[in-house]
Amino acid sequence: MSRRALLAVVALAAATAACASGRAVPRPFPEPATAPEITAKRPSGDAFGHRLAATALEFRGVPYRNGGVTPTGFDCSGLVRYVLARHGLAIPRQTRDQFTAGDRVGRRDVRAGDLVFFSTVGRGASHVGIALDDDEFVHAPSSRGVVRVERLTTEYWRSRFIGARRLR
């Protein structure tokens, strides 16, 4: 393989590895209109996790923007990084790197403030959200273009869930 072809393959792999690393758009995200109505219930977990979840909820309705890291527009890992930074926690920018931060949490032990990860584009972590409790999470999907709440137990998310991490 020529050096130019190899560079093209490496660039393509980097661009599609995570929602914050390029133009890859995880599809298809489920449409909010087809999902059951979700009213964010009181998060379960410790006080710090509640604060993280409450901060994430403040951004519902903020537009999705690929590479977005501010309340004018977020992508999934940008939202997570912004919320954690407001609480004094530093985390890498890209989803695949966020997946290595903190402590691993089993699916049944997920609680408010935990980061939940999904494989939506290729193998490995390519999408991330912040848990509100053991079933609901806040995230910045590209479909319909706004930060919103969804359920981990819907078929789409359950089948793509690859792990959770706790940073505290």
**pLDDT for 65-106, tens place per residue?**
999 999 999 999 999 999 999 999 999 999 999 999 999 999
**C-alpha distances out from residue 11 to 95, 96, 141, 158, Å:** 17, 16, 23, 30
The predicted model scores a pTM of: 0.77
pLDDT tens track for 98-148: 999 999 999 999 999 999 999 998 899 999 999 999 999 999 998 678 999
Does residue 38 register a pLDDT over 80? Answer: no
Which residue did the predictor score with more confidence, 6 or 95? 95
Q: What pLDDT is stored for residue 19 in this prediction? A: 60
HSE, CB side, 13 Å, CA atoms: give it for residue 20: 27
Angle between helices 76-85 and 47-57 (to 10 degrees): 130
- For residue 87, indicate whether it is catalytic: no
SS3 assignment, position 165:
strand
User: Is 19 one of the annotated active-site residues of the chain?
Assistant: no
Q: How confident is the model at residue 15 (pLDDT cuts 50, 70, 90)?
A: very low
Contact at 8 Å (CB) between 60 and 149? yes
Query: Looking at 19, 50, 87, 139, which residue is catalytic?
Result: 139
Please, what CATH class does the domain formed by 3-166 belong to? alpha beta
Per the annotation, the verdict on 139 as an active-site residue is yes
Summary count for the chain: helices (H), strands (E): 5, 8
**d(C-alpha 78, C-alpha 76), whole Å:** 5
Q: How far is the C-alpha of 159 from the C-alpha of 167, rounded, in Å?
A: 24
Residue 49 pLDDT > 70, yes or no?
yes
Question: CA–CA distance from 124 to each of 95, 132, 139, 162 (Å)?
Answer: 9, 23, 18, 8
Q: Which of 19, 50, 76, 87 is catalytic?
A: 76
Instruction: From the candidates 19, 50, 87, 127, give the one annotated as an active-site residue.
Output: 127
Domain boundaries, the chain: 3-166
